[in-house]
Structure 1
């Protein structure tokens, strides 16, 4: 399979997952997402969950539907978002909060290692490829 096709599929898959996650923030998983909001966030936990849900739907939609010329920028913004919400994963681990089946410190710790994967995924699936012909 061609690299361009793999990257497009990865970008669309990431976008679809973000849209799904955003919808879950606003509905059936809202309570579970509250467990990831650090106590130091100056907003109410429920408001934080709702705002991040809207942000995920917007980012996911942009990953799926943005014109090609904006893909790299959208990928950078998505990577920034994944970086910004990482303290929530850390808070869930350090405060021993169970949610999403993460009911042991081991599972919560393992979850921390997935965030860099999301950051890489966002950047790699939206990066501009330069062919060898253009470099010569």
Structure 2
């Protein structure tokens, strides 16, 4: 008998709310990841405003057209707001929060690159190697924000429609 080709199983359609939105994926791992990232961002934001202000000034690129201390204060406030939002945002808003957090992490990445290029010491990053090794962690934080909030899944779901 000839072999019967396998028919791929249909993927169940995502459950849609009356608004047409697909709720953000959740689960214990995503929740823990989201809360940990939120706590880390909130802690970093508070440290911008308090004890690590000088260290964060070292990460503001010299070419950036604003006062370094103002940049540190504004980015600290933004981090506190985003970190808090990661923890408390209702499930339906989490993908948006995740996308905004990811965009913020991309926006501040040039400061990390500048610290490496200019050889600026801060946060114990006192060699070019240490500053270079740090760089790949920023994209991982972006992925973490997108995954833990369901932003990636929401984006893929919209693309399929």
Which structure 1 residue ranges, 4+ long, deviate > 2 Å from structure 2? none
Please tell me whether Structure 1 or Structure 2 has the larger radius of gyration of its CA atoms.
Answer: 2
Give unpaired runs (5+ residues) of structure 1. Answer: 131-136
- Distance in 2 (CA, whole Å) between partners of 1:92 and 1:67 is 36
SS at match of 1:125: helix
Matched, 1:91 2:114: yes
| Aligned match for 2:61, one of 22, 33, 38 | 38
- Distance in 2 (CA, whole Å) between partners of 1:126 and 1:40 is 33
| Aligned match for 2:48, one of 25, 28, 43 | 25
- CA RMSD across the alignment: 1.3
Matched, 1:15 2:14: no
- Distance in 2 (CA, whole Å) between partners of 1:108 and 1:119 is 18
Give unpaired runs (5+ residues) of structure 2. Answer: 1-25, 155-161
- Distance in 2 (CA, whole Å) between partners of 1:51 and 1:76 is 19
1:54 Cα shift?
0.2
Alpha-carbon deviations, 1:39-74, whole Å to 9, x = none? Answer: 121110000000000000000000000111000000
| Residues paired across the two proteins, number | 128
- Distance in 2 (CA, whole Å) between partners of 1:103 and 1:34 is 15
2:78 matched residue in structure 1: 55
Normalising by structure 2, we get a TM-score of 0.77
